[in-house]
Structure 1
């Protein structure tokens, strides 16, 4: 007993010193906070904050020293320098993290050997698809001509140069290009490169329009956390690459602990709480260890009951399978599952209920095998999947081919979808993944809607999915969408519009307000409509509409920016040139999505109505009202169940 008391005392002292140690990055109060709260403003470039610095913003207000902006007086022009190269900044779009640059240190008809390629750091800058390079050739063989794209050098009228869009076909057709003394690459917008016929004037005109680049702050998530705590993003002065959150009373590693006048007192209270929590945690750990030893030593009845509980879920599942003996799905052994997956060699992804592996049946057919986690209570997720999918037969619902139940191991065998999940194509992860055409986006939207409409109305028993999101939409080789992952689904009679549900289900950012707070309305099939609408807006915007670090759900699940773009009738993709027909498809999908995410379920359409809206022309669609930004003042875990 004395030994336990000594251990508790040692741990308590350790927690005391750990929680009472001073914060290492605390700086002079107010100075950095005040200076970094000032925006950079110079002419047309205004209200610019992190990750940039310059003018009245010190370098510790930026993410890297490379992102320095210089304001040139008196014409109020913003310049930007990288090494020996100078650029004029025409505009900065903080929403899309893009800059429009014009290179000002180069004269293209001054045929000097000092001419250099435009060089931007690949770790900070990336070109969008709307920009590409044309090549300017100097010192080529005499007599070589390239039509109207030729021009003479102003410092030597006997010398000629020309420019072209360099391709493999051009190199093969004109091998003389290899004899040119110098070539430089000029980034311009694709739309101007197509009409650049007219000598040096056309080249100068295209170059003067500038080109766009994406800039990266590298610490975007940290910066959002900092700003939500009322701090300003920047870096530590001693290390420009180390992120810092500048607060009203100093700098922190990630976020400000408080931003009121009582911040210092709150910080002291926080430290006292940590000491109390540390000591209490240590005592609880010691107590639990003692209880575990006693249970093992005496093999108490409580310990036996614990092992009984581990098999209760299997008993529930076996009872379910016995009651549904008519199910025509194959049961596999664990050894067969291991053989199918080559001992789980190829992992396709990770979901809320388990990992998914690629496998192959004995007949050569490819399958996807989901190994369910062992932590879910009573096998509910297994029963949900089997009970839901076994009742369905629809081209837009994934097909369940079999299952495995052996000890604690549970697996579900599905048809294989070669194009994976929809989220990869929306968020472009990885970046080199193909960009979906608007025709395909529309077909995917329609297919998901038809699948949901079938679940809500086409089955004898209505099925509510409760986890509609891009990750749970699978695509076959023809990009036909299939709804998957029914682990959170609920079955209910078709004549019941409102269902009883005690827990919160779904994924942050797609959960309907009434699922989180019953004060909005009862939970129904309209909750799936909300999730579909949020996913539809992500498909249109090509970006995530959720903020995983937001503290209020009202900041999570309403994409305010897309409603503004719909009102302004602008293109919905910054890095994509859209035709009028494509823009009309995007607007139609946006209007449908905004109707689906109306705050109150009665204002949302049914999935049958959604299909009608998708099929109708723009003229027949009414402009949806802006959804109310009210929701429960609470956080939602990434996957609620």
Structure 2
């Protein structure tokens, strides 16, 4: 939480620094001013405003009068209201609020700084004409409506015009005015707007760059020269972009922090709930008297995790030694993968089991988030290291020993299904989970995926598939094949037997053709040809191999893919104990005489309503 507030403080300081930088960058002695909606800046300035001399150009003064109207005074008596100023194009749009330019114009505008000096003023003579009937149509076109009254027309004609002599009933006035071309349109129609431009000062280059313009300071020449100053538009936008970037990054960072805090809180809450669940479970199972160790004891037993035996998805196994010199295998669970449910499954299942072919749980550790399980030590490791002879040619087991191992595993699974107070479904029978003691007696291990069920029922509901691919029964993957039950372990055991006979993993089968053969089909073909993956030295060995193959094929009679067609483990034990001649080879489910049919091509159609009632898992 402290680091969170530090991050917020850092973000606040960052935004503050960017804001101060922006204010510093925009500070200028020639600050623009406002009058109504007009921005007044160089070359203009408002009268009465205190600014350095180089902040405006001589003759470019504006006034801000009542109602915030911006006024340009061309002379004392000539005033126009400003409608718009374009600093980049250097022109100003004016209009006469009285709508009568002729009344305002002085005798001479040649000194006005906005005029184009190449546009020489035109002198106009003003006539006062009476008798409207005497006026010609051309004379009326030169009339000035705003100065005329009923019965009298005021007419303005160029002084050098020949039309002056043709005027009738008109009297020359004493007023002569000079008007340039740009004002001539307003002379006869005072409601028109006038556009005045200026050539000096020339600030168009500064305006294009987005910078400000001003007169050069300490100019030694008599000519007024301008210079650009201040940051460009790109530089002015940089602090805003930095601030926007800071806000975006800060928002993202804040979102990440909030998400991280949520995840930490959720993880902490989940771990606390898991610990509470484990403590409640251990309190209930005190009667079974499993030994409990602290994490410090685990480190002492394993000599600081010195001797690593192996590693799996849910933990790492280390060799350890108890105080009475009993060797143990310590499985330290992975906090990220192993859940409280899996820990409870393992301890809850193992505490109920007392069988020669099931690994004995010596103790456990549940010290905060640290969890570990202590088993009896198996010096010959797993069956997997012995049966795949293609990879372990120097670690061969005799057919007699393989048959004893198969029998021991079968009796162990039968005990799990029928010998305990509650039925235990292992769901992960495979060579890797069959450990061998010093005499190569098999021990079923790893009950992390196990489920407890009532012995009176024969099916269990499951929310997700569990197990190892290649050993998972079809009904565990899809309920279209039937209900999940103890027959799922029978399937896994059958696959294990076929691997013992085939001498290879069921997922590693390769053939010469481009199609991959289903593993039980490959074993079936080996049985039909009398070929096996492990060397056959005598007829006795051949019978043993044949027995294991037949039992395996019956066990995975999912070749029919329906669990109801598989035998129970009790029936499997009877088959293993009997003579091979008494066993019936299951019919070839793969159909064709050439024996090349792939899996799934000729699966028999069979109703899937032969299962018992589905029950829920026991907690």
TM-score (norm: length of structure 2):
0.52
Deviations 1:202-243 (A, max 9, x none): xxxxxxxxxxxxxxxxxxxxxxxxxxxxxxxxxxxxxxxxxx
Distance 1:295 1:338 in 2: 36
- Residues 401 and 414 in structure 1, CA contact (< 8 A), matched pair in contact too: yes
Q: Of 536, 545, 550, which aligns to 1:591?
A: 550
Residue 459 (1) aligns with residue 409 (2): no
Q: Distance in 2 between matches of 1:556 and 1:373?
A: 37
Residues 353 and 556 of structure 1, relative CA distance in 2, 3 Å threshold: farther
Which residue, out of 553, 571, 575, partners 2:531?
Answer: 571
CA contact (8 A) 1:597 1:627 kept: no
Partner residue in 2 for 1:224: none
The 3 A distance-change label for structure 1 pair 429 and 391 is farther
Q: Does 1:609 align with 2:571?
A: yes
CA separation of 1:290/1:322 partners in 2, compared to 1, >3 Å: closer, same or farther?
A: farther
Cα distance in 1 between the residues matched to 2:390 and 2:444: 20
User: Relative to structure 1, is the Cα distance of residues 509 and 302 closer, same or farther in structure 2, using a 3 angstrom cutoff?
Assistant: closer
Matched positions, count: 341
The answer to whether the 8 Å contact 1:597/1:604 transfers is yes
- Map 1:101-250 to 2 at 5 A: none
Aligned partner of residue 505 in structure 1, secondary structure: coil
2:539 alignment partner in structure 1: 580
**Aligned position for 1:345:** 306
1:452 partner SS: helix
Q: Does 1:513 align with 2:436?
A: no
CA distance in 2: counterparts of 1:377 and 1:623, whole angstroms: 42
Partner of 1:624: 586
Gap runs ≥5 in structure 2:
1-247, 591-598, 602-619
SS of the aligned residue for 1:349 comes to strand
The alignment partner of 1:534 has SS state of helix
Residues 591 and 345 (structure 1 numbering): CA distance in 2 closer, same or farther, change over 3 Å?
A: same
Q: Secondary structure in 1 aligned to 2:557?
A: coil
1:439 to 388, 400, 408: 400
Q: Relative to structure 1, is the Cα distance of residues 454 and 302 closer, same or farther in structure 2, using a 3 angstrom cutoff? A: closer
Say whether the 8 Å CA contact 2:328–2:376 is kept in structure 1: yes
- Counterpart residue number, 2:291: 330
Equivalent position of 1:63 in the other structure = none
- CA gap 1:626/1:299 in 2 versus in 1, 3 angstroms: closer
1-structure distance, mates of 2:260, 2:379:
51
CA displacement at 1:460 relative to structure 2:
1.1
CA gap of 1:464–1:366, structure 2 versus 1, over 3 A, is same
Assess, with a 3 A threshold, how the Cα gap between structure 1 residues 557 and 495 changes in structure 2: closer, same or farther: farther
5+ residue gaps, structure 1, are 1-286, 632-641
Shift of 1:344: 1.0
Q: SS of 1:503's equivalent?
A: coil
Could you tell me whether the CA contact under 8 Å between 1:398 and 1:414 is conserved in 2?
yes
Q: Which whole-Å CA distance do the structure 2 matches of 1:530 and 1:424 have between them?
A: 22
Deviation at 1:560, TM superposition (A): 2.1
* Equivalence for 2:373: 412
Give yes or no for the alignment of 1:311 onto 2:288: no
Distance apart, 1:378 and its partner CA: 4.4
The corresponding residue for 1:375 is 336
CA shift, 1:492, in A, is 0.2
| Cα distance change on mapping 1:502 and 1:549 into 2, 3 Å | farther
SS at match of 1:589: helix
**Tell me, what secondary structure is at the counterpart of 2:287?**
coil
CA separation of 1:613 and 1:299: change in aligned 2, threshold 3 A = closer
Q: Is the Cα–Cα contact under 8 Å of residues 348 and 356 in structure 1 kept in the other structure?
A: yes
SS in structure 1 of the partner of residue 572 of structure 2 = helix
Deviations 1:17-47 (A, max 9, x none): xxxxxxxxxxxxxxxxxxxxxxxxxxxxxxx
State the shift of 1:454 in Å: 0.3
Give the corresponding residue for 2:316. Answer: 355
Shift in Å, 1:502: 0.8
Q: Which has the higher contact order (CA 8 A, sep 6+)?
A: 1
RMSD: 2.8
Give secondary structure in 2 for the equivalent of 1:404: strand
SS at match of 2:279: helix
When normalised by structure 1's length, the TM-score is: 0.50
Report what 2:122 is aligned to.
none
Deviation (angstroms), 1:432: 5.4
Contact preservation (8 Å) 1:317, 1:383: yes
Partner Cα separation in structure 2 for residue 549 and residue 294 of structure 1: 51
**Is 2:490–2:569's contact at 8 Å kept on the other side of the alignment?**
yes
- Rounded Cα–Cα distance in structure 1 between residues aligned with 2:358 and 2:312: 18
Separation in 2, partners of 1:289, 1:506: 45
Mark the CA change 1:409 to 1:620 in structure 2 (over 3 Å): closer, same or farther: same
* Inter-partner Cα distance in structure 1 for 2:478 and 2:355: 33
Distance 1:453 1:556 in 2: 31
> Larger Cα Rg: Structure 1 or Structure 2?
2
Task: Compute the displacement of 1:331 (Å).
Answer: 0.7
Structure 2 counterpart SS, 1:506: coil
Q: In the aligned structure 1, how far is the partner of 2:263 from the partner of 2:564?
A: 50
